[in-house]
Amino acid sequence: MKLLIVVSHLRRGGLVEVVYNLCQRLVNEKNIQLTVLSLRKEPAESRIEMFRALGIEVLSLNNSYFACELRSSLVRVRVQQIVNRYQIDVVHCHGYHPALACSGLVGVKKMTTLHDRATEDFINAFGPFLGRYMLYRYFHALADFDLNVAVSESGAELYRQFLDNVDYVNNGIDTEKFGLLADSERAAKRKRLQLPEDMTLFVTSGRVEREKRCEELVEFFAKKFQNKQVGLLVLGDGSRLESCRQIAKNCPNIIFTGRISNVADYLQCADYYVSYSKSEGMSMAVCEAIACGLFPVLSDIPSHIDVAKPIGGLLFKRIEDVDVNAVLSKRIDKKELHEYIDAHFSMVSMTHGYTNIYRRLCAE
């Protein structure tokens, strides 16, 4: 079977991390010949060489963002040429522009992974006018695919309101990279990372953007725990980072790392994970944290419920309603949390789900 995975670009981020995890496993599948296609010019922090290091042929069309948005039919012609030249059996798209570019391909089975909750995320990110225009194009394109795969059960429920051809495969993380540490190792790592050795640390990770409600989260910790032995560790960068820093300027218990590549190290040093996000497709950050043994304290959006409810995670509507003392007194079995993610949200289980779909499509 010849498989073509199509992405917008290979810049470091949640979607690309999922694709990389999938490719790591697919290269070991004897009956799958894998090629990756990037539609746009590779930006700074591209992971293209990491993909090539897996032994995968990676192609790039070097389009601009606007070419992918405004000239998707021309991009489609070039993708069709690659499909024909490589005699591709299955095209697997990830993201909005790949869906637009590949929806009209012929002579090949087409599937796409729905990494977001488009009806929420497009409006939040682009506003009501542009967001609705993009939604119209996106759903029109998705209707042409043989299968659309959501990244969670609640995501599938959302998309089934608009599309007939929807299935789901839970996103998966590298549970070896995101694992548990012995107490002695954890203490040594905290010291190495210059984190407070005797502070109870909540951590949040990912893009520091408005839809993540990071400012409200930082404000809650700034007011409730100023100069106390409970802290918040904010991992990541984004347009709201400076605003968050201003809110916490007199709070030594709130720590910002900016953009980092060693997220797992910081998660392994924390005690609890907290997110106040408005919307997520499937939060890889939450899965990574739980795999590191962190108890989840999460806003009650559908994708958070998918992951946290089976393990009794704390779900809340407003951050002000969280009873932190009740969280701190909760007994936590870190090994049980890791094993839960390993069984249901690992890159092994994810790859198994996708390979079954590839074979099913080829058999139709």
CA angle 174, 177, 179 (to 5 degrees): 100
Supply φ then ψ for residue 351, to 5 degrees. Answer: -65, -40
Give the E-state strand segments of 44-139 in sequence order: 57-63, 90-94, 109-114
Q: In this predicted model, what pLDDT tens digit does every residue of 268-304 receive, in sequence order? A: 999 999 999 988 877 889 999 999 999 999 999 998 9
Residue 255: the pLDDT is: 95
pLDDT band with cut points at 50, 70 and 90 for residue 14: confident
Of the listed ranges 20-29, 214-223, 227-236, the one predicted with least confidence: 227-236
Interval 206-230 mean pLDDT: 88
Q: Please state, in angstroms and rounded to a whole number, the distance separating the CA atoms of residues 126 and 201.
A: 34
Residue 283: the pLDDT is: 82
Residue 8: the pLDDT is: 97
Residue 189: the pLDDT is: 95
Q: Please state, in angstroms and rounded to a whole number, the distance separating the CA atoms of residues 324 and 332.
A: 15
Residue 263: the pLDDT is: 94
Classify 213 in phi/psi space as left (phi over 0), alpha (psi -120 to 50) or beta: left
pLDDT above 70 (res 104):
yes
pLDDT band with cut points at 50, 70 and 90 for residue 228: confident
Q: In this predicted model, what pLDDT tens digit does every residue of 297-330 receive, in sequence order? A: 999 999 899 999 999 999 999 999 898 888 988 8
- CB neighbours of residue 210 within 10 Å: 15
pLDDT band with cut points at 50, 70 and 90 for residue 45: confident
Give the E-state strand segments of 211-350 in sequence order: 230-235, 254-258, 272-275, 295-299, 314-316
Helical (H) or strand (E) element with 1: none
Quick one: what percent of the chain has pLDDT higher than 70? 100
Residue type, 139: F
Residue 261: the pLDDT is: 87
Identify whether the C-beta of residue 247 lies closer than 8 Å to the C-beta of residue 178.
no
Residues 6+ apart with CB under 8 A from 205: 234, 235, 236, 263, 266, 267, 273, 285, 288, 289
Token pair, residue 279, equals 């919307």
The pTM is what? 0.85
Torsion of CA 249, 251, 252, 253, to 10 degrees: -130
pLDDT above 70 (res 7):
yes
Identify whether the C-beta of residue 197 lies closer than 8 Å to the C-beta of residue 227.
no
Q: Name the average pLDDT for the chain.
A: 93
Token pair, residue 106, equals 């012929």
Q: Please state, in angstroms and rounded to a whole number, the distance separating the CA atoms of residues 37 and 60.
A: 6
Map tokens 């939060």 to a residue. 283
Q: In this predicted model, what pLDDT tens digit does every residue of 160-210 receive, in sequence order? A: 999 999 999 999 999 999 999 998 999 999 999 999 988 999 999 988 988
Interval 244-263 mean pLDDT: 93
- CB neighbours of residue 137 within 10 Å: 15
Residue 206: the pLDDT is: 87
Helical (H) or strand (E) element with 31: none
pLDDT above 70 (res 227):
no
Q: Please state, in angstroms and rounded to a whole number, the distance separating the CA atoms of residues 85 and 9.
A: 21
Identify whether the C-beta of residue 344 lies closer than 8 Å to the C-beta of residue 290.
no
Q: Please state, in angstroms and rounded to a whole number, the distance separating the CA atoms of residues 362 and 305.
A: 34
Interval 226-239 mean pLDDT: 88
Torsion of CA 116, 122, 125, 131, to 10 degrees: 170
Residue 355: the pLDDT is: 96
Q: Could you say which DSSP state residue 294 is in?
A: P
Determine the 3-state secondary structure of 198 from DSSP. Answer: coil
What sign for the dihedral angle of Cα 173, 40, 97, 58? negative
Q: Please state, in angstroms and rounded to a whole number, the distance separating the CA atoms of residues 170 and 162.
A: 20
